[in-house]
Amino acid sequence: MPSYVCSVPNGTLSEAQKQEIATSITGRHCETTGAPPFFVQVIIEEEGALKRYIGGLATTEYIWIRADLRAGRSEEQLKKLMLHIVDDVSRISGIPAENVWINLCMLEPTDMVEYGRVLPGPGKEQQWFEALPLSVRDRLEKLGTDRHKFQL
């Protein structure tokens, strides 16, 4: 958690642009929330037979991003995160910022399982991390997680 799904028209982005968007969203999420990068999932979904409509008219000039996030972030954090992502995706893709739409969907931590465990509520991340099997903790530490300052 979190999961960002970016829906883009076929052929809009090169592989390099997709990688840059995934890297940017991951960085912005970690910078804003303090979450470690190995939790951030970015999916670039190219629309094939799918058609998008606004006001009943087909459109291919937009990028939609749906993000499923753990609840508990401040309104200020979420606004900052969304606006940075819009700016980055617009710059990378060449799509105007007003055509990059984001929908945040908040999930309670108890609605998610990662690494075989239900996620903790805010402030209980350290206990959650310490309850993971040693093999998982070691794997996460190799990815840059500090067992003494673990947060989601």
What's the number of domains the chain is made of? Answer: 2
Same domain as 128, residue 63: no
Per-residue pLDDT at 5 exceeds 80: yes
Q: How would residue 144 be classed by pLDDT, with cut points 50, 70 and 90?
A: low
DSSP string for 46-99: EESS--EEETTEEE-S-EEEEEEEES---HHHHHHHHHHHHHHHHHHH---GGG
Same domain as 113, residue 102: no
Same domain as 141, residue 78: no
Q: How would residue 58 be classed by pLDDT, with cut points 50, 70 and 90?
A: confident
Same domain as 47, residue 92: yes
152 is in which domain, residue-wise? Answer: 109-152
Same domain as 129, residue 74: no
Q: Which of 39, 40, 44 is nearest to 6 (CA)?
A: 44
- 2 φ, ψ to 5°? -90, 165
pTM over 0.85: no
